[in-house]
Amino acid sequence: MKRRVPSFLAGVLTTLLVAAMATTALAASGKISYNGATVTVGGAAQAAGDITTAEGQAPGSIQFTDAAGNVTHYLPLETIDQLPGVDAAYDPVTKTVKLERGKMWEKQETESGIQYASEDTGIDYTGSPSYAPAALPEGWALESVREMTGRSGQEYRNGSGRISFTCSYPDGSSHGWMPGSGEIPCTAVTVNGCEAELYTHSSEYGDGCLLVWENLDGVLFWFVGSDVEPETLVDFASTVAPAADTLPNYEAGWLPEGYSLFETNTSAGTVETTWIGRGGNITLTYSTSPLLLPEGSGKTVKLDNVNAKFWEAKEPHEADEDEWEPQTEGSVTITTGTISGPGAADVATLAWTDADTGVHFRLHGTVDQDTLVRIARSVREK
């Protein structure tokens, strides 16, 4: 698999050759020094000090300081060639620098689906890429989010239509789409200036589509749609952009007795926290995007300074008092249970929007209206 050079380096490559061939002219008006900068990609040092070439030692970077004291750094072609994601060569006959970029993700086709796998770049990713639709198309709303080291994702719904979006760093992980046997046609499309592949599949169980591409930084964008037209999936994905990290942090100051924190997921302007206890669960979600709500208009409920909407659960929750109780098997402790999502029939939902910040809130759980209202009134910015 070829290596990749980050996009910010591409702009200096043309200048690089000119600088290397004009050292004497530059020296006449300023000062040239070597190894004045260390090259890093994703925080990992790629070239420090001299580098070894076929001809011997060469500087890893060149620093030029002009008469006014302004400093410019240049990278030798040999240094560029050693960076992840690029193959570089110089043709002395045509005096041309040739650069080729490779892909971080490799496609593999099987009898039942599509898989994209990345090689481990050696970079230690401590977070996850943060991307989200800049604006949701009419009718679409955010259902839930998920996060793990190196990747994050969101689930969206519009009636029976579903779109699952995941973005991942190239850390040795893989993504698979197995819609079933049969032909899986592929069409080349362009999304956000990147070449993308659009797959479609039809069967007796329904229609599905997959849209996937890799950006210049090696981040993989993975969209799976069900009961969604392929053109709709492309339009939806075309709104994706880096998410602004401006969301305030909120917390619930009160919870029913016996409930404790289970997990918190954060993804691109959305935070989702779940508590468990007494065989049930409660989840607080807040986001800059509109959130998925139950059908119907709901009942108006007055909070401290805002009107909220409340929806009753469609059916009673059957509590299992032993659920979530840790079980010890030898030296291993196992905790099992079922969390009811926002679309589950046994959850009640309370939703409101902060007029000052524009943040949308959704509180749902296997509890009654009074409990949800009391929790909502305790929600404050940290």
Q: Could you give the dihedral angle defined by the CA atoms of residues 201, 205, 206 and 209, in that order, rounded to the nearest 10 degrees?
A: -30
Q: What pLDDT score was predicted for residue 306?
A: 93
Nearest to 7 by CA among 63, 96, 84, 62: 84
Mean pLDDT of the chain: 82
Quick one: pLDDT at residue 124?
80
- Which pair of structure tokens corresponds to residue 35? 């190894």
Q: Considering only CA atoms, which of 367, 248, 369 is closest in space to residue 299?
A: 369
Tokens representing residue 61 in the block: 């970077």
Residue 364 tokens, joined: 């749902």
In the chain, the amino acid numbered 179 is P
Cα 262 to Cα 361: distance, rounded to the nearest angstrom: 19
Question: pLDDT band at residue 303, thresholds of 50, 70 and 90?
Answer: very high
CA–CA gap between residue 169 and residue 172 (Å, rounded): 9
Distance CA 29, CA 69 (A): 11
Between CA 74 and CA 62 the distance in angstroms is 5
Q: What is the pLDDT of residue 2?
A: 38
Per-residue model confidence (pLDDT) at position 11:
38
pLDDT at 22: 42
* Phi, psi (degrees; rounded to nearest 5) at 111: -65, -25
> Which has the higher per-residue pLDDT, 72 or 88?
72
Rounded to 5 degrees, φ, ψ at 293 are -125, 160
Place 17 in a pLDDT band, splitting at 50, 70 and 90. very low
d(CA 337, CA 348): 19
Going by their DSSP bridges, the two strands 360-365 and 348-353 should be labelled as antiparallel
Whole-angstrom distance, CA of residue 64 vs CA of residue 311: 67
Residue 270 has pLDDT above 50, yes or no: yes
Enter the tokens of residue 86: 């690029």
Strand, coil or helix: 93:
coil
